[in-house]
């Protein structure tokens, strides 16, 4: 690939050129140091044009209908004059790139839309950590004028935390079932959600769906509220048959308005940035420690102590960090 300059990429992003938008994302995802350097500059330049979208995370058990929901919800938003970007966390590492999501994220109807952009996002960070470049990809999409960023998680705990840490609204798709099945929902998920959508509801199972709703509301009742004056709505519908999606759209609007009113919209984003900063401090310190000639051996020696259980690994890490910082 011929490498493009940042001004070419930025011009492309701003003019809505999806090919160049894709190239800018590829640059940001690259692990090569020279690409990373260019990516950092690109991000710095586009930063003033970011932040204006509504960032929505969508989670749910495998097969709950997340992709179907995103496809039809995305089309609904487009019909209201919005531009929609879809990012799906791709659990396949760079080793087997795109092989898992290749088919699943096709979202055929949505991908035909001029105002839609769909992109899988690799889940392994460039330093090999949990954090990835999805956030940066999102910023690029915002600079390109996308109003809604929809992020689909994969059914792995880590990916849910990751997505809820970069979004404004966290939506949980649930399929019918209560009682025992409800207990299977990780408590952590219920604490993260802002809105629940019971999917695959039709005339035949409407009563069952209503029971599931009651069970969910009971479970929610025992949790501390995440947002002041917000009672997590439990909506019923069908992503496949476009039922209930309008209501989700309007509830998301209400939620954002409330967050703005409560001053928690920007506040949450600030806290998210701080968390991400702390994460990267850890990552970079570890990376530099391993690379620096002066600390490399010293790091290895302590690691060996930990691996041989000469002392508890956390004790060993504490001793190492204190020495590193000269304490």
Ligand X SMILES: Nc1nc2c(ncn2[C@@H]2O[C@H](COP(=O)(O)OP(=O)(O)OP(=O)(O)O)[C@@H](O)[C@H]2O)c(=O)[nH]1
Q: Binding string, 94-123, against Mg ion, x = CB under 5 A?
A: ----------x-------------------
- 264-291 vs 245-261: helix axis angle to the nearest 10? 90
The listed partner (ligand X, Mg ion, none) that binds 64, CB under 5 to 8 Å by sort, is: ligand X
d(CA 136, CA 132) in angstroms, rounded, equals 8
Near Mg ion by CB under 5 A: residue from 67, 121, 132, 238: 67
Angle at 267 between CA 40 and CA 265, to 5 degrees: 100
- Within 49-68, the residues that bind ligand X by CB under 6 A are 60, 62-68
Sheet holding 116-122, edge to edge: 116-122, 84-90, 148-152, 54-60, 169-175, 195-199, 234-236
What b/e sequence results for 55-83 when a residue is b if at least 16 CB atoms lie within 10 Å of its CB, and e otherwise?
A: bbbbbbbeebbbbbbbbbbbbbbbeeebb
Q: Binding string, 112-141, against ligand X, x = CB under 6 A?
A: ------------------------------
Point out which span in 31-39, 51-59, 63-71, 113-121 binds Mg ion (CB under 5 A): 63-71
Compare residues 181 and 283 and give the one whose CB is closer to ligand X. Answer: 181
The listed partner (Mg ion, ligand X, none) that binds 86, CB under 5 to 8 Å by sort, is: none
* Spatial CA neighbour of 267 closest among 275, 181, 171, 39: 275
Q: Should residue 212 be labelled a site residue for ligand X when binding is judged by CB under 6 A?
A: no
Contact 155, 62 (CB under 8 A): yes
Compare residues 138 and 239 and give the one whose CB is closer to ligand X. Answer: 239
Compare residues 35 and 104 and give the one whose CB is closer to Mg ion. Answer: 104
Distance in Å, CB of 106 to ligand X, minimum: 10
* Spatial CA neighbour of 195 closest among 147, 125, 250, 153: 250
Compare residues 66 and 174 and give the one whose CB is closer to Mg ion. Answer: 66
Give, in order, the Cα–Cα distances in Å from 205 to each of 38, 180, 184, 237, 315.
53, 18, 21, 11, 55
Distance in Å, CB of 192 to ligand X, minimum: 17
Q: Should residue 199 be labelled a site residue for Mg ion when binding is judged by CB under 5 A?
A: no
What b/e sequence results for 264-289 when a residue is b if at least 16 CB atoms lie within 10 Å of its CB, and e otherwise?
A: bbeebbeebeeeeeeeeeebeeeeeb
Distance in Å, CB of 294 to ligand X, minimum: 46
The listed partner (ligand X, Mg ion, none) that binds 65, CB under 5 to 8 Å by sort, is: ligand X
Contact 183, 209 (CB under 8 A): no
d(CA 127, CA 85) in angstroms, rounded, equals 26
Compare residues 65 and 233 and give the one whose CB is closer to ligand X. Answer: 65
- Within 155-174, the residues that bind ligand X by CB under 6 A are 155
Contact 195, 169 (CB under 8 A): yes
Distance in Å, CB of 68 to ligand X, minimum: 3
Compare residues 66 and 302 and give the one whose CB is closer to Mg ion. Answer: 66
Compare residues 58 and 216 and give the one whose CB is closer to Mg ion. Answer: 58
* Spatial CA neighbour of 221 closest among 212, 232, 235: 232
Contact 107, 67 (CB under 8 A): yes
- Within 77-106, the residues that bind ligand X by CB under 6 A are 104
- Within 127-156, the residues that bind Mg ion by CB under 5 A are none
Q: Which residues bind Mg ion (CB under 5 A)?
A: 66-67, 104
Q: Which residues bind ligand X (CB under 6 A)?
A: 60, 62-68, 104, 155, 199-200, 238-241
């Amino acid at each position: 690939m011929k490498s493009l300059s940042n001004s070419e990429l930025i011009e492309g992003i701003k003019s809505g050129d999806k090919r160049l938008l894709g190239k800018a994302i590829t640059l940001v995802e690259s692990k090569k140091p020279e690409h990373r350097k260019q990516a950092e500059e690109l991000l710095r330049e586009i930063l003033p044009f970011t932040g204006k979208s509504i960032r929505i995370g969508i989670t749910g058990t495998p097969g709950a209908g997340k992709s179907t929901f995103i496809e039809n919800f995305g089309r609904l938003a487009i019909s209201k004059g919005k531009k929609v970007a879809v990012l799906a966390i791709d659990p396949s590492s760079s080793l087997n790139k795109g092989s898992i999501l290749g088919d699943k994220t096709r979202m055929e109807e949505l991908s035909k839309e001029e105002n839609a952009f769909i992109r899988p996002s690799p889940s392994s960070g460039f330093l090999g950590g949990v954090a990835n470049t999805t956030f940066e990809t999102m910023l690029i999409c915002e600079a390109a004028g996308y109003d809604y960023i929809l992020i689909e998680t994969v059914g792995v705990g880590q990916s849910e935390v990751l997505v809820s840490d970069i979004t404004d609204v966290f939506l949980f798709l649930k399929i019918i079932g209560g009682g025992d099945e409800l207990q299977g929902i990780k408590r952590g998920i219920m604490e993260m959600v802002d809105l629940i959508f019971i999917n695959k509801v039709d005339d035949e199972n409407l009563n069952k769906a209503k029971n599931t709703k009651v069970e969910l509301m009971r479970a929610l009742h025992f949790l501390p509220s995440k947002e002041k004056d917000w009672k997590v709505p439990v909506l019923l519908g069908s992503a496949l048959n476009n039922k209930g999606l309008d209501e989700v759209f309007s509830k998301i609007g209400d939620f954002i308005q409330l967050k703005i009113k409560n001053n928690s919209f920007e506040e949450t984003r600030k806290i998210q940035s701080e968390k991400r900063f702390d994460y990267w401090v850890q990552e970079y310190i570890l990376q530099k420690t391993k690379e620096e000639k002066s600390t490399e051996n010293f790091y290895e020696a302590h690691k060996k102590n930990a691996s041989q259980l000469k002392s508890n690994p956390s004790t060993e890490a504490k001793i190492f960090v204190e020495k590193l910082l000269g304490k």
